[in-house]
Structure 1
Amino acid sequence: MSFLDKLSARMPFGKKEEVLEYFFALNISNEKLSAALWTIEGRSLKILEEASQACSSLDDLVPTTDKLLDKVLGIRELNVSKILFGVPSSWLTDGNLKEENLKVLRGLVKELELKPLAYVETAHALVHFLEKQDSIPPTAVLVGFEQNHLIVTVVRAGKLDGVKVVARGDSSGASIEKALLTFTNVETLPSKILLYGSETSELKSQLLSYAWMSKLSFLHFPKIEVLQPEMEIKSVCLAGASEIKGDVHYTEHHEEKTVKKVTAFTAAQEEGEANGKEEKAQEAAENLGFVVGDVSEQGKETKTEPESESEEKPFESPSSFGSELALPEEAVPTSEHKLSKRRFLPKLPKSPVKLAILFGFIAAIGIILVAYLFLLKAEVKVFVEPKVLEKETQVTADPKQKNVDEEAKIIPGQMVEVDVSGTSKAASSGKKQIGDPAKGTVIIYNKTSESKSLSKGTTLTSSGLKFTLDVSINIASQSASDSGITYGKTNATVTASVVGADSNLPSGSELTVGSPSSSQVSAKAEGNFSGGTSKDVTVVSDEDQKKLLASLASDLRRQARQKLQEKLPGKKILEEALLEDNVKKSYSKNINDQASEFSLNLTIHYKGTAFEDKDLKLIVGKLVTTQVPEGFELNLEGTETQANVSKLEKDGKLIFLAKFKAKLMPKINKDELVNKIKGKSAKEADKILKGMDNVLGLDIKLTPSLPSILQRLPVFGKNIKLEVGLK
């Protein structure tokens, strides 16, 4: 930005109002549609409104979309016609829309009179959103919850291993397990599960108690987190914004009550800007698996004449100097207006004092000019565009290795171990009845001609309630007399099997004896049963203990990594690679103990392998050196590395998948460049530098600061400090 531009930007008048273009976004999932109204302000994505509605049939796609777009538009007086689509993985084959789904989108845009921008696979958009948010490619299991389905996505180092859709069962953990078991090509699952969709907060506590380690190939108990609401439609919007304008970031935006004035586009402006944005989107489309353009044209094969390359204007970044002001040419006097030169020739003063002042003034001017030449200094920062090479390979950190083996991709490792202890509390959620069982006396009848014996603990039943004999008994056989048959009988005491007043039977209640049939032995209550009482109390459940253990173990793992990192500041320690070698745990309450809360004391001995990041970068250098194009050089210090643990062997060998993002810097001869720009004006230097390949912009700072009309770079190259870097 020039000095005059900066000045006008601070004025309360004369500012140009930013012209914003607005877009729709529509995400299509198995059971619902989500829509959004969004725009780009500077480098920020602004989502003005979101809405969603259930929709599981393609027949309802058009009317439901129409309602949602009306809802997100609301009362805003905007003319929005361009729409971006997020589509499920099942709609794609080899990255392209299936023909039947392509027809669906064609019909939708035609019916609603919309212009399609592009479509993106929702899974890819989610991965891109997480990478933007965390500044590193994600490694995680993504689980999307719908009413009847789960969408399970496995992503490692920013790359999709696959997307599975399964029916949602009674146990969410079991449904996720079912989906993950189909990923047979994944040896070790990422130890992080990210939840999005409906009811995720309630489901998180459920999943924390699931037995992941015994059922699936996790290296350690997975960390479970809940992503922000409406994650899918936000991810689709960010993917579209990134394709239109490159490095765009998203932050939560709450629209103010006053509606911002929108400057209308002229037809020419809209068409020109749209073409420019679409060209930019087309160039970067492959980064996200993005397909750009009118879906109505996809799949049609047409032969076109090759178009000549359009001239591209070089990118002009704002200059820190003011534009040179064009001064009006002085009017040249005609002959009739010429005056005697004598009138304008100054006369030297004859006074010595005046002569001294004059020569002093001339000397001062000379000193200032010399100082200007020798003392003027400049700092020039040249911003270049790097090329990025991405590579991934399996690397082993071996404690027995002394030096980096670039061929075998083995780096020296160091065994580390630490004990970490901690205490945590949790509320109990189990329920249990406590109280006393009912007791009473029964008469037991023997209806056979042989005596019967019943042992202690024999079960008697009445209306589903169970009782047991307190003692063993013998019952005499039945006997015959003139009046008929008399059953053998005896009295015995019984106790209810469970506590509660329900077992307080009234006198005369019939009971069935367990082993003999009722035709042989029967029983009847002798008097009322009594003593049965109960009440509900809160107890510690097995699930309560598992949740607290998982939560505290996760905290201790983080503490272990921090402690080891403090001891070894120059080393890299992966939290996921720390193994629990020995665990000592002590609960304050056992399972089924009555308590409103309980605590856990936990001590874990962690073992792992540390390594140096510089050793990893040596492997990078070996891998990418042969792929550096002419005119570029590898900037090893600017290389980004990421490690995803595969396994830690018993001998301490750490095997992990290393992903590298190497930045290749353009080669620039600084001395030659300084010679080109020395003594030039800021505008001339700007033109020279921007005419070079891979230069995005520059920043010039002069010391001392001078008015813009006097701003020139030093004539001596040694007074120019030139730095080359990234914007």
Structure 2
Amino acid sequence: MELKNLLTKFKSKEESKEYFLALEIGDESVKAAVWMVNQGQTEVVRFSSIQSLENSTQEQILLAADKTISEISEGLNPEPTGVIFGLPESWLEHETINPDKKNWLKTICQELELKPLGYVASISALVKYLKLEEGSPLTAILIQLNSAEIVLTLVKLGKIIGTEIVGRSGDLGPDLEEGLSRFKNIDALPSRMILFDSKNDFEDEKQQLISYDWEEKLPFIHFPKVEVLSESISIKAISLAGGSEVAKSLGFEIIETKTKLKNQPTKAEPESVNLEFSPEDLALQTKSVNLEAKADLEPELKTKPKFNFNLTLIQLIKSKISSIKISSNSKILMLVGGLATIIFLFLSLYWYLLKADITIILEPQILEKQLSLNLIGQPEEISVSGSKTIPTTGKKIVGSPAKGEVVIYNKTSQTKTFNQNTIVVGPNNLTFVLDQDTTVASRSASDDGYVFGKAEAKITARNIGTESNLPAGTNLSFKQFSEDDYYLKVLSGLTGGSAEEVRVVSQEDQDNLILQLTQELTSRAQVEFEARKQGDRSLVPVADIDKLTSKRFSHNINEQADNLSLEAKLVYTTISYSQSDLQQKALAAIQDQIPAGYELSPDSNLEIVSAKLNKNNTADLKLNYRAKLIPRLDVEAIKKQLLGRYPSKVETYLSSLPNFLSAEIIIKPQVLPEPLKTLPHLTKNIKLEIKSE
């Protein structure tokens, strides 16, 4: 993305510091930043606060731009005037700025005394910035949330496939489904969603997307990952990604140290994208506006870093020689001979010391298999001890029963003895028992009728709690006898009943503590094994071999306690195996299913699902094997094809390799003039690594 500018004679190098502005105009907000070029790199100096727009009128945007620029320009010397604009997609038509919006920008520049340096589509700047940050072209769904609408941008391998705008309802999942369904001829959507806008809190929206059933609704290979960008990321992208292009057009030396090479389509040219304008187009002049679209037809990722050299070594020698006065033919011969020697030595060093590291990424074929293997290993026994404490979660009611004295009345003509523990019933079905055997005399005759027999006795409530604390005079009865024959009355009141809830040890507490301590001690045993192992050996994760022994709890079940501790010893008995041996066995098991011309990538994943130890130091394993198969390439032949080529010429050749996705090329030393920045001329100086995605 090159930002064209007509101010080619700008003398930035003569000033110690030169500040520039970036102004992002959105549909609902305006942001600004101050940036500068420092040691060949663009960097952001300040961010403004975000100015919200009640409506997107020219007056509102001018007022918001004035506030943001005034805020971040305060105290800067010199005060920045050059500005790069970041514009929304709604402002662009046919790769240029909408004529009405162009007039708005002219007014902003005139009113705020700004010098326009260029413009960039905010989405395009964000795509380039994320590519620079992550080291590879972006593949994702960009989701820009406004109050009334959603802007969806589909990006694959750093190329914007298209943009759709949908209205926003209360349910974000169906809104996105509607927008994404408008993209036609898409075999698979990127499994990465990126939310961004002028706010930080996207938690509600993120949860809506995470809970939506994407794989059932749209062609996703697997459930998409949802990410959230900070509110300042878009203006930062405009400042750094867009600003670097403006800086180059102003004459700054921008250093590019390392680039990744990406496979490009061969059947269609990339779309032409207009990401620039001339400052004259915004000047208040009567001449016609000339916005010239520039097709970005170069490969998206080039491996030619740009270096700015004033003189090459040969030019320097030539200039020195030209300043020497030659007085004789012999001196000329000596100088020519010396120059030839220097050139020979330089070229020799260049020829033998030039090196390159190349990493080729291939798209793999995936072969997933479930395997059953028998593995021979070495016996291993590791003993570790430890302790752990957790809070208890059990609950229990504790307290005392109510006690007191009662009078037992006998209405019958027979003496009655009530045995100890005879059940007495009170109000609300409260129950008590006699503390001892009690005999009550029979009734007796009197002038007024009968006098009931009576006797005092002590009773105790059968349950704890304050409910059994009864006042004096309360009538009670026997559970087994009628009140017409016998009844009881509380003398001075029943007291002492109490109850409270306390924490106790539960069975679940002990089980959880055993599990947690087992996991900790198992991890310690594995760490101890890692410290003493040799080579590529690993432990077989056999189930039920990590039982705790010598367990000692600090409290028993149902015992009152706030915390529970456990001291125990674990004896980890298993076998160790060689990872390379396991890989070889797994490879042999699927060898006949590997297509001709393919080989197993080292990035394949082998997972042990379960294992059973045998008595002869072997284990029966069940494994999930996710084998990545890549084309078998002749590394030496590829090196020969790359000898002496410029990185820009390498792309066509690498793109022809089967299943090619991308490549990364690093040429050393990096401080070489462009004409000499080729790949090495000796195959031994090229380090070539082939990986799968």
For the residue of structure 2 that corresponds to 1:556, the secondary structure is: helix
In structure 2, C-alpha distance between the alignment counterparts of 1:450 and 1:541, rounded to whole Å: 53
Residue type of the partner of 2:649?
E
In structure 1, C-alpha distance between the alignment counterparts of 2:307 and 2:469, rounded to whole Å: 105
Aligned residue in 1 for 2:166: 81
- CA deviation after TM superposition for structure 1 residue 510, in Å: 1.0
- CA deviation after TM superposition for structure 1 residue 675, in Å: 3.3
In structure 1, C-alpha distance between the alignment counterparts of 2:539 and 2:170, rounded to whole Å: 41
* Mapping 1:266-285, distance limit 5 Å: none
Residue type of the partner of 2:547?
D
* Mapping 1:199-218, distance limit 5 Å: none
Larger deviation: 700-709 or 229-238?
229-238
1:363 partnered with 2:340:
yes
Aligned residue in 2 for 1:286: none
1:393 pairs with one of 370, 376, 398:
370
Q: Give the alignment's TM-score, normalised by structure 1.
A: 0.53
Inter-CA distance 609–479: structure 2 relative to 1 (3 Å threshold): farther
* Mapping 1:371-520, distance limit 5 Å: 371=348, 374-395=351-372, 409-428=373-392, 434-463=398-427, 464-478=429-443, 484-520=449-485
- Kindly indicate whether the alpha-carbon contact (under 8 Å) linking 1:446 and 1:521 is maintained by their aligned counterparts in 2: yes
Aligned residue in 2 for 1:673: 638
Residue type of the partner of 1:364?
T
In structure 2, C-alpha distance between the alignment counterparts of 1:443 and 1:549, rounded to whole Å: 55
- CA deviation after TM superposition for structure 1 residue 707, in Å: 1.0
Inter-CA distance 590–539: structure 2 relative to 1 (3 Å threshold): farther
- Kindly indicate whether the alpha-carbon contact (under 8 Å) linking 1:415 and 1:610 is maintained by their aligned counterparts in 2: yes
Q: Deviations over 1:368-390 (max 9, x none)?
A: 46526743533251504142333
Inter-CA distance 640–596: structure 2 relative to 1 (3 Å threshold): closer
In structure 1, C-alpha distance between the alignment counterparts of 2:149 and 2:416, rounded to whole Å: 81
In structure 1, C-alpha distance between the alignment counterparts of 2:390 and 2:233, rounded to whole Å: 43
Residue type of the partner of 1:42?
L
Residue type of the partner of 1:469?
L
Aligned residue in 1 for 2:210: 234
For the residue of structure 2 that corresponds to 1:638, the secondary structure is: coil
- Kindly indicate whether the alpha-carbon contact (under 8 Å) linking 1:436 and 1:533 is maintained by their aligned counterparts in 2: yes
Aligned residue in 2 for 1:42: 138
Inter-CA distance 8–597: structure 2 relative to 1 (3 Å threshold): closer
- CA deviation after TM superposition for structure 1 residue 393, in Å: 1.9
1:540 partnered with 2:523:
no
- Kindly indicate whether the alpha-carbon contact (under 8 Å) linking 1:582 and 1:606 is maintained by their aligned counterparts in 2: no
For the residue of structure 2 that corresponds to 1:19, the secondary structure is: helix
1:320 partnered with 2:303:
yes
- Kindly indicate whether the alpha-carbon contact (under 8 Å) linking 1:581 and 1:607 is maintained by their aligned counterparts in 2: no
- CA deviation after TM superposition for structure 1 residue 712, in Å: 3.5
Inter-CA distance 646–251: structure 2 relative to 1 (3 Å threshold): farther
1:616 partnered with 2:582:
yes
Gaps of 5+ in 2: 5-36, 44-116, 127-135, 152-162, 193-202, 240-264, 271-297, 309-324
1:311 partnered with 2:272:
no
* Mapping 1:631-650, distance limit 5 Å: 631-635=597-601, 637-645=602-610
In structure 2, C-alpha distance between the alignment counterparts of 1:652 and 1:229, rounded to whole Å: 54
- CA deviation after TM superposition for structure 1 residue 493, in Å: 1.1
In structure 2, C-alpha distance between the alignment counterparts of 1:229 and 1:86, rounded to whole Å: 9
Aligned residue in 2 for 1:556: 521
Aligned residue in 1 for 2:488: 523
Inter-CA distance 648–436: structure 2 relative to 1 (3 Å threshold): same
Residue type of the partner of 1:19?
I
In structure 2, C-alpha distance between the alignment counterparts of 1:658 and 1:557, rounded to whole Å: 21
In structure 1, C-alpha distance between the alignment counterparts of 2:365 and 2:401, rounded to whole Å: 76
* Mapping 1:235-274, distance limit 5 Å: 251=227, 253-256=229-232
For the residue of structure 1 that corresponds to 2:231, the secondary structure is: coil
In structure 1, C-alpha distance between the alignment counterparts of 2:570 and 2:167, rounded to whole Å: 56
For the residue of structure 2 that corresponds to 1:672, the secondary structure is: helix
Aligned residue in 1 for 2:547: 581
Q: Superposition RMSD on alpha carbons, in Å?
A: 5.4
- Kindly indicate whether the alpha-carbon contact (under 8 Å) linking 1:45 and 1:241 is maintained by their aligned counterparts in 2: no
In structure 2, C-alpha distance between the alignment counterparts of 1:714 and 1:528, rounded to whole Å: 110
For the residue of structure 1 that corresponds to 2:539, the secondary structure is: coil
* Mapping 1:313-352, distance limit 5 Å: 318-321=301-304, 351-352=328-329
- Share of identical aligned residues, percent? 24
Aligned residue in 2 for 1:19: 123
- CA deviation after TM superposition for structure 1 residue 366, in Å: 4.7
In structure 1, C-alpha distance between the alignment counterparts of 2:149 and 2:414, rounded to whole Å: 86
- Kindly indicate whether the alpha-carbon contact (under 8 Å) linking 1:317 and 1:697 is maintained by their aligned counterparts in 2: no
- Kindly indicate whether the alpha-carbon contact (under 8 Å) linking 2:644 and 2:678 is maintained by their aligned counterparts in 1: yes
In structure 2, C-alpha distance between the alignment counterparts of 1:359 and 1:715, rounded to whole Å: 27
* Mapping 1:123-162, distance limit 5 Å: none
* Mapping 1:277-296, distance limit 5 Å: none
Residue type of the partner of 1:633?
E
For the residue of structure 1 that corresponds to 2:493, the secondary structure is: strand
Q: Deviations over 1:553-594 (max 9, x none)?
A: 443333343334444464333667353434443333444544
Residue type of the partner of 1:674?
K
In structure 2, C-alpha distance between the alignment counterparts of 1:717 and 1:577, rounded to whole Å: 51
In structure 2, C-alpha distance between the alignment counterparts of 1:616 and 1:454, rounded to whole Å: 82
For the residue of structure 1 that corresponds to 2:481, the secondary structure is: coil
- CA deviation after TM superposition for structure 1 residue 672, in Å: 2.8
Q: What is the count of residue pairs matched by the alignment?
A: 480
For the residue of structure 2 that corresponds to 1:471, the secondary structure is: coil
- CA deviation after TM superposition for structure 1 residue 596, in Å: 4.1
Aligned residue in 1 for 2:196: none
In structure 2, C-alpha distance between the alignment counterparts of 1:554 and 1:535, rounded to whole Å: 39
Q: Deviations over 1:450-500 (max 9, x none)?
A: 544332222212113322211123344556677645544332111223444
Inter-CA distance 717–650: structure 2 relative to 1 (3 Å threshold): closer
- CA deviation after TM superposition for structure 1 residue 511, in Å: 1.0
Inter-CA distance 579–372: structure 2 relative to 1 (3 Å threshold): closer
In structure 2, C-alpha distance between the alignment counterparts of 1:45 and 1:240, rounded to whole Å: 18
In structure 2, C-alpha distance between the alignment counterparts of 1:237 and 1:10, rounded to whole Å: 43
In structure 2, C-alpha distance between the alignment counterparts of 1:8 and 1:690, rounded to whole Å: 35
Inter-CA distance 82–667: structure 2 relative to 1 (3 Å threshold): farther
- Kindly indicate whether the alpha-carbon contact (under 8 Å) linking 1:384 and 1:725 is maintained by their aligned counterparts in 2: yes
* Mapping 1:37-186, distance limit 5 Å: 42=138, 70=148, 80-81=165-166, 116=181
Gaps of 5+ in 1: 23-39, 50-67, 89-104, 120-124, 130-226, 264-308, 326-347, 396-408
Residue type of the partner of 2:231?
E
Aligned residue in 1 for 2:292: none
For the residue of structure 1 that corresponds to 2:436, the secondary structure is: coil
In structure 1, C-alpha distance between the alignment counterparts of 2:424 and 2:331, rounded to whole Å: 136
For the residue of structure 1 that corresponds to 2:628, the secondary structure is: strand
For the residue of structure 1 that corresponds to 2:538, the secondary structure is: coil
In structure 2, C-alpha distance between the alignment counterparts of 1:477 and 1:72, rounded to whole Å: 95
For the residue of structure 2 that corresponds to 1:658, the secondary structure is: strand
- CA deviation after TM superposition for structure 1 residue 643, in Å: 1.8
- Between structure 1 and structure 2, the one with the greater Rg is 2
In structure 1, C-alpha distance between the alignment counterparts of 2:328 and 2:642, rounded to whole Å: 47
For the residue of structure 2 that corresponds to 1:506, the secondary structure is: coil
Q: Give the alignment's TM-score, normalised by structure 2.
A: 0.55
